[in-house]
Structures are given as C-alpha cells and as structure tokens.
Amino acid sequence: MKIADIDLGEFPVLLAPMEDVTDPAFRLMCKEFGADMVYTEFVSADALIRSVARTEQKLAIADAERPVAIQIYGRDVPTMVEAARIVEQARPDVIDLNFGCPVKRVAGKGAGAGMLRNVPLMLEITSAVVRAVDIPVTVKTRLGWDTENLIITDLAERLQDCGIAALTIHGRTRAQMYTGEADWTLIGEVKRNPRIRIPIIGNGDITTPQRAKECFDRYGVDGIMVGRASFGRPWIFSEIRHYLQTGEPLTGLTAQWKLDVLRREVDDSVRLLDERRGILHVRRHLAASPVFKGIPNFRETRIAMLRAETRDELFELFRRVESMPEFNDPARLTL
C-alpha cells in the first residue's frame, strides 16, 4: 500500500490516533513492535494557531517513528489551512484530517465527526488543506452521523476528488460513539467501488490477529488501523504481523515478558511527562491490559494499581503480582 510516495508494504497495520494515548513514547513502542505507520494525538487547529504550548508539544516527532502522521481537527477553512501550514513545518510524512472524533466537546462544536452533518464544509476544508501544503493529506472519518445517514460510500468519492492520498474509515456512526460492533460492510463497499483509486484503511474492533486477517481477506482493505486494542498491549502489532505472515499465533510472549513491557510503558510515560502525570497517563493501559486477565481474586490489586500515585508504589504492586502462583500459569489466558 502506498500513501502518495510512502510505501507501507503489503497488508500494513497502523496505530490509530488517540487523544492522551499516542504520545511519542507509545508511538515509538508500537513502532518497535511492528506498527507500519503511527499517528499523533489529534491536534486542535484553533489551539495551534493560538500557540497554545501543550498543543504545540504534540507536533514533536522523531525520525525513529517514521512514517508518522500528525492529525488535526477544526471547524473552519482559514483555521485548518493555517494549522496545516504550521504542522507542515514539523515535517510529518502525512497530515491527517480528523472528521471522525465523536466526543461531544469536538463533534458537538461541528469539528471531528460533527463535519458529517456539514459535508460541503468538510469538502471545502479538505480541498483547501490539500492545496495549501506540499505533503500528502489523508482523512479519517466514520460511516455517517447515525444509521439514518450512512453517507460514506458517496462521501469517499467526493473526498477523493478533493485530492486526498488515503481514507481511513471507522466502521461506526457518530451516534454509536464506541459502542456496539463496528460494521465493516460499508468499508468493503467503498473499497470495491471501481471509482475509488486511493488506499482505503479500515478501523474498528480489530482486537485479534485473526480478526485483522479476516478484515483484509473479507473486505479487501488496503490497510488496517488498530486503536483501543493496543491499550496495555503494544505487542499486538507483533502478533498481527506474525499471523499475517505465517497463519500461526505468535508464541513465546510470556506473562513476565509482557509485564516487563508495561514497566517500560510506565518508565517512558514518567520520563516524558513527570511522575504524577505519567502515572495518571498510563492508568488506562493498566486497566485494559490482558496481562492480568484470569488471575483469581485480582480485583483489590487492580484497584490498588489504578490508585497508585508513584512509580515505586506501582512497581511494588507489579512485584506482588509476579509472586502470585497463577501469574505464570501457562493455562491462563493472557492474549
């Protein structure tokens, strides 16, 4: 699959842009484990042109994570164009336009998935940004606002006509938020449309290597994007890559090895932010990680982990987990 001149190889697996998740440390870790392309947290165009320091920090990228995309969102043409030009100076490989974020503080103001209710403006912004920069521009969006307005098949053609280099489709409507199951049927329809010439990347509920392969095989997408399934499991990219290449599950990733990866996540987060913010930042990974799945009577330990306020406190709990006989039980499901 190619995005303009960027060759991502066959069956690429991408790390989705996620607010408060895809910071530089996590992107680099996912890249190490096999992500073919990574995306930053989304960047507010309005905050960027106002030089908000925390927003500007999101533009920091490293050569080791390339190819990397910086994603922006906004609700008017001049702001998005100016923001795109600022982003271009940070030298990402791709600028991605967020027309899919469903959260109220974004979509409720007309940005993100809110653009699904104002397609003419979405297209105007897309065309203007494509003309304004010299690097590839891509779009990430959803099936439509709700089940009564599933517009993606027509919208994909119109976005392509704006000059984008690739389109990522999340298989849910804005109304669904992140509930229910992602519907890949329309993603497949977009890909099978003979008028579509750009790569189509599918997103939504890719939680296992088997599901990743099914999405490639059944829907014919050019690439897949993994989001929430990477929480506390950055090695999922290694698992998917191995399964796509061999048809066999990846073995040898012990519970101990995975817990050591989580230790590194904690250290990286604390180093990037500071101890207090770093611990807060990593909690969602600890809550979601499959490393602790199947350990009996684990509830109190889990609560203590999510309440820990220091690295030492958290690592002491990790040591307590390691001492549990069930932790290294090979019969325990840790995938």
**Among 331, 332, 328, 233, which residue's Cα sits nearest to residue 287?**
233
Query: Among 30, 101, 162, 215, which one carries the catalytic annotation?
Result: 101
- Contact between 262 and 291 (Cβ < 8 Å): yes
Cα 327–chain centre separation: 29
The per-residue DSSP string of 116-151 comes to: GG-HHHHHHHHHHHHHH-SS-EEEEEESBSSTT-B-
Burial of 51 (0-12, 13-18, 19+ CB in 10 A): exposed
Give the other-Cβ count within 10 Å of 313's Cβ: 13
For 288-333, the three-class secondary structure string (H helix, E strand, C coil) is HCHHHCCCCCCHHHHHHHHHCCCHHHHHHHHHHHHCCCCCCCCCCC
> Identity (one letter) of the amino acid at 76?
D
Q: 209: cis peptide before it, omega within 30°?
A: no
Alpha carbon of 3 to those of 11, 148, 288: distances in Å?
13, 32, 32
Residue 215: active-site member: no
DSSP annotation of 178 reads T
What are the catalytic residues? 101
